[in-house]
Amino acid sequence: MLAAPDKFRGSASAPEVAAAIAAAAEGAGWTCVQLPLADGGEGTLDAFGGANRTTRVTGPLGTPVDAPWRMGDDGVAVVESARASGLDLAGGADGNDPVRATSRGTGELVAAALAEGARRVIVSLGGSATTDGGFDTVEVLEAHGPFDGRDGRPEVLVACDVRTTFSDAAIVFGPQKGASPQQVVELTGRLDRLASLYRQRYGIDLAEVPGSGAAGGLGGAFAALGARLVPGFGLIAEHTTLSDAVRSADAVVTGEGKLDAESFNGKVVGGVLELARVHGVPSLVVAGAVEEQVAAPATAVSLLDSFGPEAAWGDPLGCIERATTRWLRKEVTRP
């Protein structure tokens, strides 16, 4: 059996969810492979095996933070912008200063990876406190680029799960980061000026680059430096050989905090279920909540509906284990 879930935001990480699924499988007499996943935002580091490095960098509000990242034996490094420039590090929307917040720490993490000899750096965008258009990251990394992997140069792949363009970053994401309406206008003006600067300096029109507004324009800054912006789930699925894992499984369990229409738009659950359908493998979705209008192409269990709010929030991992056990015993024949 394969456990291939996303995180349950706010209650459980993807590795914790995968472990709960595996405990149910083993209790029912199955062997389970754990493959925690992400779609290019928070949790990407876990999907690649977790951190094995820590570097002190500039936090989102200037205070130093110890940011974990990963360096592989294959020369592939994985950096999460949320670990260096994340909104949680700034104290959430209420504690953030959306105008002052800086992406410099993300640039410093990439620079640390390059200093260790990384030939490819995967940068996940999501959960950032910043709307600085990535300018502070550009200041750190400009001398190291371009990051196109040509002529022996390092390659940077930016995993993002949004298509927002550069100048819309403040309008779309600013309020989530604590920006007032007046600050959204101010930040949008700054992004417009940076777009012009990047066009003059690097010859790139960020209005034509989907995802360039990710992480407050950090996606666009990396694009200006020659990096490629790619759908996060596809990148992670490729590096974790997810398709082979699904093909080899007799059953697959995936999950996330909330199953809704967006779950099937480049996200983990939709991607896993599609692979299970292609390979004819029975599948289960375990979610904290399931929107009523969603018609999942598999059995879907809502923890809230099945176990009640107190248990679903108080013991989500126990509920996930019980839901998986029930499905295996009632609906799947063990090989």
Please name which of 237, 228, 318 lies closest in space to residue 270, comparing C-alpha atoms.
237
- Mean pLDDT computed over 63-74: 96
Q: What does the pLDDT read at residue 334?
A: 66
* Position 262 pLDDT exceeds 90: no
Q: How would you list the strands of the sheet with 283-290, edge to edge?
A: 33-34, 2-3, 252-259, 283-290, 299-302
pLDDT for position 158: 96
More confident residue, 262 or 253: 253
Question: From residue 159, how far is each of 56, 117, 193, 222, 231 by CA, in Å?
Answer: 23, 21, 25, 11, 6
What end-to-end distance do the CA atoms of the chain give, in Å? 10
pLDDT at 293 over 80: no
3-state secondary structure at position 1: coil
Q: Quick count: other Cβ atoms within 10 Å of Cβ 67?
A: 27
Can you give the length of the chain in residues? 335
Residue in the block written with tokens 């389970």: 32
- In the DSSP assignment, the letter for residue 91 is T
Q: Which of 127, 119, 131, 167 is nearest to 39 (CA)?
A: 127
Phi–psi pair at 120, nearest 5 degrees:
-135, 135
Tell me the DSSP string of 60-85.
Answer: TTS-EEEEEEEE-TTSEEEEEHHHHH
Partners of 114 in beta bridges: none
Angle at 44 between CA 39 and CA 47, to 5 degrees: 100
- pLDDT at position 161: 78
Condensed to tens digits (0 to 9), the pLDDT of residues 86-120 reads: 999 999 999 999 999 999 999 999 999 999 999 99
- The DSSP line for 285-331 is EEEEEE-TT---SSEEEEHHHHH-HHHHHH-HHHHHHHHHHHHHHHH
pLDDT digits (tens, 9 = 90+) for 309-322: 999 999 999 999 99
pLDDT digits (tens, 9 = 90+) for 124-165: 998 999 999 999 999 999 999 899 999 999 999 999 878 899
Is the model's pTM score more than 0.85? yes
Q: What pLDDT digit, counting tens, does each position of 159-198 carry?
A: 987 889 999 999 999 999 999 999 999 999 999 999 999 9
Mean pLDDT along residues 263-285: 93
Burial of 154 (0-12, 13-18, 19+ CB in 10 A): buried
β-strands 53-58, 283-290: how paired? unpaired
Given this model, what pLDDT does residue 335 score? 65
Whole-number pLDDT of residue 331: 78
Q: Average per-residue pLDDT in the chain?
A: 94
